[in-house]
Structure 1
Amino acid sequence: MRRWSWALAVVIGTLASGTTAQETAPPAAQIGVRPFYLVDAMKDGPLKTELQRCEGRTFHATPFSIGHRGAPLQFPEHTRESYLAAARQGAGVIECDVAFTRDRQLVCRHAQCDLHRTTDILARPELAAKCTGGFTPADPATGTEASAQCCTSDLTLAEFKSLNGKMDGADTSATTVEDYMKGTEAWRTDLYATTGTLLSHKESIDLIRSLGRKFTPELKQPEVAMPFEGGYTQEDYASQLIAEYEEAGVPPEDVYPQSFLLQDVRHWIERHPDYGLQAVYLDDRDETQPGFAITEPASWQPSMQDLAAEGVKILAPPLWMLVEPGEDGGIRPSAYAREAKAAGLGLIPWSLERSGPLADGGDWYYQTIKDVTTTDGDTLALLDVLAREIGVIGVFSDWPATTTFYANCVGLE
């Protein structure tokens, strides 16, 4: 069984210990009841029996467990409260998606223009007036959905920081702002959404470092024309992200910068090689390249070998790209997964626990294995294939307790 060191570094697609972090025992983790709810829901078999034996043991933080936007299954994403929840659940790495404000300050937000879905901006008239697109009510007579568009680049950092985070969601059938803001999915909760403290990227660095965790900032693709206001280029934006870790004295081996734009990853590799060594290429080529298919390596441009040849070390695809139905209703690695590993690329899939209940086969994240997904317990069956058959570096999760539990239980510590 491969063992994981708390002091983790990725080198040429493999795992190696020995970062500058002090070699101490990893912090204790609070996994709560959900992981064992998932175990109870599993189909009977050796994996279920193995995981059942872990009840009652002590769990610890692990870099295999990556807090995707914090712990947004139940906490407002990219808020102080969500990051604290992720750390308490044992996430060894925590994500800040990075966007920029009107005064070119970096902040944590999943998309540049999601403030109308993830904050209370529409209930703040003085700030809502600054939105790119104000609230438009639904019109049932014409079938028009309610809409709004509020961007980080509409506000200064000070204005952004005055907002409160809420659970991501919007009711597009609403005819009032109040109803539009009540869009939380029924399988999530607003129980912990009474407070959502928004953070700048610099503040996220200070918080995550104080928690003893590592960093995976994602440079979000701008939704405004670049260069922004004539002088702020994409390269400036990408370099500013790295500069804030340099200024804070965070060692490169503790940072996994990510982007869906390969040009950003290439920029980090060329201009910031220390941090570029662990740069993560987020793969959405299924949506951006016509003809892309996970079963057809010829449709992958660049190829896995080409990515590795130009210095990419880590590839981060959605969960479904790495798996396909196996024999007897099981799950097995896909051709995509096999080719990536053969090219020496490390893999970090996204995002576990992003779907609702799996009784109907799951949603977009489970599309290749929908026919063999029948219960919430299949979350752990999928995780086991990712970890032990494919050998992923870690897994993004909206509820890090699940990945923390699994990694501890099977020895990926």
Structure 2
Amino acid sequence: MMLKRQRQLLATALLAALALPMGDAAAFDELVESNSAGFSKPLNVQVGPRPYYLVDQLQNGPLKSKLKACSEKHLTRTRFSISHRGAPMQFPEHTVEGYQAAARMGAGIIECDVTFTKDRELVCRHDQCDLHTTTNILTIPALAAKCTQPFTPANGGTPASATCCTSDITLAEFRLLKGKMDGFNPNATTPEEYQNGTPSWRTEAYSATGTLVTLKEHIALMNSFGVNMTPELKEARVPMPYQGDFTQEKYAQKMIDAYKAAGVSPKRVWAQSFNINDIYYWIKNEPAFGKQAVALAETDVPADLPPAIAALPGMRAKGVQIVAPPIWALIALDGSGKIVPSAYANAIKQNGFKIIPWSLERSGPLTDGGGYYYQSVSSVIKGPGDYYNVLDVLSSKVGILGIFSDWPGTATYYGNCFNKP
């Protein structure tokens, strides 16, 4: 009886936070029933067959033996496994369905990329101007007409294009959208054709639904899962101050205020930004949240690494404690072709930072060298098993705190096998 009453109370709280009509109570009771971690019972973590498949792809050796020895181990949630946008390898990103998948796969920290609508409401989207590739906005004429750049069909050698931003529409209009797999067809002549651009190694199997969320709704959902949260303050694609008085500082503060209003402990929040001034703002004005704010490192090519290394002492002196670079920037090849920590990784550690890299499982089957995320070691990236080869170097040699992943089950399996928190 008590368990049922607890679920009813949580369902009511979620409905209020999500601003949904009580007619949806049955659906939310089911959600609470299956995602009651930290409230009434632990979540049954299931990583599916993929981690076992990746282990099988490894060459025989100590790592493969260790990971195979964990094949029947009871798996639990771990903060080592950080959900990047939900579970976008197979689910539309930043949707309830993707977040549920991430929680079920044992992610201990789940991300919401935070941006704002025309009426300054905070919502979860990877980019302020990605609605044309991550939602169905172009197929809703009344909303498509409001896009910064309406759909333009392909013509000769000119590809199809569009630009639709959350700042183009109000929150009420945002709620009319459905999330889809990120992608577009550059040869499209209609908005419907433009929607079909999902990479072949992903899937449309879970795109029948794609429930978008606000930041407030994300917080309520994460509380129902009992997990930590990592909001990323996204770059504004509109001139700031927006509408004359919405400054970058007010934007950064508004994000933190959402967690304070929900009563979330700062220890459960890992605020991120590529804008180092956002990190400094939080350290100064919200020190409880700034203490574990994550400074994302925008290092796209090797030429970016020397200035990134040079910036580390100044960042550390101003109180930054966690740095988050892309995977490739933390690894290199030694003279024998073995993957080892990079000079940048060593400099980060020497300056006393903790490290969270991004993003595992974002590069397909790794049969082409791995692309952007593995550019520093591409010559030795031969196939799917190398996800674990690289993750092992990051964990055992670089000493990462955790890792962002597009398919959290992969990191959850490794984290459990190596007893990560």
Shared fold (TM-score, shorter chain, > 0.5): yes
Query: 2:179 corresponds to which letter in structure 1?
Result: G
Of stretches 303-312 and 62-71 in structure 1, the one that deviates more from structure 2 is 303-312
**Which residue, 113, 116, 123 being the options, matches 1:107?**
123
Partners of 2:320 and 2:354 in 1: how far apart? 9
**Which residue, 87, 91, 94 being the options, matches 2:110?**
94
**Which residue, 342, 360, 367 being the options, matches 1:334?**
342
Query: 1:354 corresponds to which letter in structure 2?
Result: R
Give 2:6's aligned residue: none
Partners of 1:134 and 1:286 in 2: how far apart? 30
Q: Deviation at 1:158?
A: 1.1
Partners of 2:211 and 2:270 in 1: how far apart? 24
- Give CA-to-partner distance per residue, 1:286-334, whole Å, 9 cap, x none: 46xxx8443x4xx336522221111001000000000011354431100
Give 2:254's aligned residue: 240
Partners of 1:353 and 1:332 in 2: how far apart? 20
Give the alignment's Cα RMSD to 1 decimal: 1.7
Partners of 2:175 and 2:222 in 1: how far apart? 18
Q: Are the equivalent residues in 1 in contact too, given 2:179–2:212 (CA < 8 A)?
A: yes
* Richer in helix (by share): 2
Q: Are the equivalent residues in 2 in contact too, given 1:28–1:58 (CA < 8 A)?
A: no
TM-score, with length taken from structure 2: 0.89
Structure 1 position 271 matched with structure 2 position 285: yes
Partners of 1:263 and 1:34 in 2: how far apart? 39
Structure 1 position 48 matched with structure 2 position 47: no
Give 1:17's aligned residue: none
Query: 1:338 corresponds to which letter in structure 2?
Result: N
Residue 36 of structure 1 aligns to a residue whose secondary structure is helix
How is 1:65-84 mapped onto 2 (pairs within 5 angstroms)?
65-84=81-100
Give 2:406's aligned residue: 398
Query: 2:283 corresponds to which letter in structure 1?
Result: I
Deviating above 2 A after TM superposition, structure 1's stretches of 4 or more consecutive aligned residues are: 21-28, 291-294, 299-303, 326-330
Q: Are the equivalent residues in 2 in contact too, given 1:116–1:122 (CA < 8 A)?
A: yes
- Give CA-to-partner distance per residue, 1:241-284, whole Å, 9 cap, x none: 00000000001110000000011111111111110001111000
Q: Deviation at 1:22?
A: 7.2
**Which residue, 309, 317, 333 being the options, matches 1:309?**
317
Give 2:359's aligned residue: 351
Q: Are the equivalent residues in 1 in contact too, given 2:299–2:325 (CA < 8 A)?
A: no
Q: Are the equivalent residues in 1 in contact too, given 2:299–2:329 (CA < 8 A)?
A: no
Q: Are the equivalent residues in 1 in contact too, given 2:54–2:387 (CA < 8 A)?
A: yes
Partners of 1:331 and 1:89 in 2: how far apart? 28
Q: Cα gap change, 1:278/1:24 in structure 2, threshold over 3 Å: closer, same or farther? A: farther
How is 1:107-146 mapped onto 2 (pairs within 5 angstroms)?
107-140=123-156, 143-146=157-160
**Which residue, 371, 381, 391 being the options, matches 1:373?**
381
Q: Are the equivalent residues in 1 in contact too, given 2:299–2:326 (CA < 8 A)?
A: no
Gaps of 5+ in 2: 1-36
Structure 1 position 252 matched with structure 2 position 266: yes
Q: Cα gap change, 1:230/1:301 in structure 2, threshold over 3 Å: closer, same or farther? A: farther
Of stretches 328-337 and 115-124 in structure 1, the one that deviates more from structure 2 is 328-337
Gaps of 5+ in 1: 1-20
Q: Are the equivalent residues in 1 in contact too, given 2:38–2:225 (CA < 8 A)?
A: no
Partners of 2:39 and 2:348 in 1: how far apart? 31
Residue 58 of structure 1 aligns to a residue whose secondary structure is coil
Q: Deviation at 1:375?
A: 1.1
TM-score, with length taken from structure 1: 0.90
Of stretches 233-242 and 55-64 in structure 1, the one that deviates more from structure 2 is 55-64
Q: Deviation at 1:176?
A: 1.4
Residue 150 of structure 2 aligns to a residue whose secondary structure is strand
**Which residue, 240, 243, 246 being the options, matches 1:229?**
243
Residue 94 of structure 1 aligns to a residue whose secondary structure is strand
Give 2:13's aligned residue: none
Partners of 1:25 and 1:200 in 2: how far apart? 26
Q: Cα gap change, 1:161/1:278 in structure 2, threshold over 3 Å: closer, same or farther? A: same
Query: 2:209 corresponds to which letter in structure 1?
Result: T
- Give CA-to-partner distance per residue, 1:92-116, whole Å, 9 cap, x none: 0000000100010000000000000
Identity %: 53
Residue 97 of structure 1 aligns to a residue whose secondary structure is strand
Q: Are the equivalent residues in 2 in contact too, given 1:92–1:214 (CA < 8 A)?
A: yes
Q: Are the equivalent residues in 2 in contact too, given 1:292–1:300 (CA < 8 A)?
A: no
Query: 1:391 corresponds to which letter in structure 2?
Result: G
Give 1:170's aligned residue: 184
Q: Deviation at 1:349?
A: 0.3
Give 2:369's aligned residue: 361
Residue 376 of structure 2 aligns to a residue whose secondary structure is helix
Give 1:39's aligned residue: 55
